């Protein structure tokens, strides 16, 4: 007569999937999640039955070791289909009923396993057929474009890998608005600095001519970064570059009235961003107002620029250039003479100037002389 089995020794045979509490068709990610949940549930620190929890944890690790490796899992799946797969004795508590046993019998798979399907491969996040995968990158890109990108709207997607692929495609095809929208959405979904750099937003804004839109978008990101950090400095450079591109495209070119309006917009943006206008910004604004015959505003900008303290050696030469371009040639000549006499020693310091001061003086003199020639030509009556 067989003796009764002690309650503490009760167990049942389970295959490795039953041990983890996962289905054989589970993906690799789903299998990993099931393993982690099972470990947390049966860990000795969380269970009063320390001996049984230790035994269960060991079996979980054994099952995970077998199924985590793609090749070993493939062989185990085939053995499971043949009914010859390895099983383990899963210990049961006193009040736990039988029911987890998977008999080792030959069975036909009800659903193909998604993780080792040999008919497809993953390329840049997309599933492509094996024959396309073997054909190489060109065929893969064409298949991804034809199957996943064409006919889709980037506004409906939240997958970062999809947006990266779509943005690259839009860029190649010259669909500038879609390119810009896709990279903006990508940056909104992934706030990491690396994604921001890789998105190449500045080039997209320049291609679209949306300089100030880019300033607003990057300014909102800059406000969330710590002041003084590398990310904050990088964003400040990008903002300055976009504003410089706006200056070159809209303040230095176009109809006089449009240029003057763009000059005011540029100065307002710089003030709102807390950035001091560069000498090139002020020169462009003064020239734009001169062209629009806003002489009073041009003179106001000039005096404001000259009243600001000059903190760098090159600032003295920039002041001479401002006066020259504004037509105040006598003041420019006087300031240039002060620099040459040594009244402003920083302007002659070769080390701080990072160049030959004599060459800068000569360039300023030539520019001043050309301005005098132009002024005489304008005042000399024609025969």
Written as six digits, the tokens of 151 are 């006919």
Burial 145-181 (b: 16+ CB within 10 A, else e): beebbeeeebeebeeeebbbbbbbbbbeeebbebbbb
Burial 20-29 (b: 16+ CB within 10 A, else e): bebebebeee
Quick one: pLDDT band at residue 117, thresholds 50, 70, 90? Answer: low
* pLDDT, average across residues 354-369: 89
Residue pLDDT, tens place only, 28-74? 888 999 999 888 887 776 655 567 888 888 899 999 999 998 888 88
Q: Is pLDDT larger for residue 82 or for residue 140?
A: 140
Report the chain's mean pLDDT, rounded to a whole number: 85
Site of tokens 């080039």: 203
The closest of 303, 269, 274 to 286, measured between CA atoms, is 303
Quick one: pLDDT band at residue 7, thresholds 50, 70, 90? Answer: very low
Residue pLDDT, tens place only, 247-305? 999 999 999 999 999 999 999 988 888 888 888 888 899 889 988 988 888 888 888 88
User: Cβ distance 84 to 104 under 8 Å?
Assistant: yes
Q: What CATH class has 7-91?
A: mainly alpha
pTM over 0.75: no
Least confidently predicted of 100-104, 168-172, 343-347: 100-104
162-166-167-172 Cα dihedral, nearest 10 degrees:
150
The Cα–Cα gap between 223 and 236 comes to 11
pLDDT of residue 50: 67
Highest mean pLDDT among 131-135, 211-215, 349-353: 211-215
Where would I find the H helices in 120-255?
Answer: 130-135, 137-144, 160-173, 176-189, 193-199, 201-208, 211-222, 230-246
pLDDT of residue 262: 94
Domain chopping of the chain, boundaries? 7-91, 210-296, 309-383
Highest mean pLDDT among 53-57, 110-114, 181-185, 275-279: 181-185
Quick one: pLDDT band at residue 116, thresholds 50, 70, 90? Answer: low
The 8-class DSSP code of residue 292 comes to: T
The Cα–Cα gap between 45 and 65 comes to 22
Crossing angle of the two packed helices 295-307 and 314-325, in degrees rounded to 10: 160
The Cα–Cα gap between 89 and 105 comes to 17
* DSSP β-ladder status, 87-91 and 11-15: antiparallel
* Distance set, CA 243 to CA 218, 291, 345 (Å): 12, 21, 32
**306-309: long-range contacts, CB 8 A cutoff, minimum separation 24:** 308/276
pLDDT at 314 over 70: yes
pLDDT of residue 42: 78
């Amino acid at each position: 007569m067989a003796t009764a089995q002690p309650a503490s020794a009760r167990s049942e045979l389970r295959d490795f999937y039953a041990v983890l509490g996962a289905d054989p068709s589970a993906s690799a990610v789903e299998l990993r999640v099931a393993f982690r949940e099972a470990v947390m549930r049966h860990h000795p620190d969380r269970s009063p039955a320390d001996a049984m929890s230790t035994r269960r944890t060991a079996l979980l690790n054994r099952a995970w070791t077998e199924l985590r490796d793609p090749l070993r899992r493939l062989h185990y799946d085939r053995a499971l289909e043949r009914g010859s797969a390895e099983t383990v004795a899963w210990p049961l508590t006193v009040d736990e009923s039988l029911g987890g046993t998977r008999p080792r019998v030959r069975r036909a798979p009800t659903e193909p396993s998604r993780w080792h399907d040999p008919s497809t491969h993953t390329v840049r996040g997309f599933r492509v057929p094996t024959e396309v995968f073997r054909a190489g990158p060109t065929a893969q890109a064409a298949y991804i474009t034809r199957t996943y990108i064409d006919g889709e709207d980037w506004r409906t997607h939240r997958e970062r890998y999809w947006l990266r692929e779509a943005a690259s495609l839009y860029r190649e095809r010259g669909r500038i608005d879609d390119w810009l929208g896709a990279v903006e959405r990508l940056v909104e979904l992934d706030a990491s600095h690396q994604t921001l750099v890789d998105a190449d937003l500045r080039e997209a804004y320049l291609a679209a001519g949306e300089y100030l839109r880019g300033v607003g978008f990057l300014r909102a990101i800059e406000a969330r970064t710590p002041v003084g950090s590398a990310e904050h400095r990088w964003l400040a450079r990008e903002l300055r570059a976009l504003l410089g591109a706006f200056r070159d495209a809209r303040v230095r070119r176009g109809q006089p009235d449009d240029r003057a309006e763009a000059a005011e917009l540029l100065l307002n943006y710089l003030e709102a961003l807390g950035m001091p206008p560069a000498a090139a910004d002020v020169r462009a604004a003064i020239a734009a107002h001169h062209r629009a015959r806003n002489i009073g505003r041009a003179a106001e900008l000039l005096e404001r620029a000259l009243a600001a303290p000059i903190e760098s050696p090159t600032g003295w030469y920039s002041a001479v250039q401002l006066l020259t371009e504004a037509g105040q040639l006598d003041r420019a000549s006087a300031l240039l003479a002060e620099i040459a006499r040594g009244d402003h020693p920083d302007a002659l310091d070769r080390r701080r100037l990072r160049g030959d001061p004599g060459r800068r003086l000569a360039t300023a003199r030539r520019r001043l002389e050309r301005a005098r020639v132009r002024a005489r030509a304008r005042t000399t009556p024609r025969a």
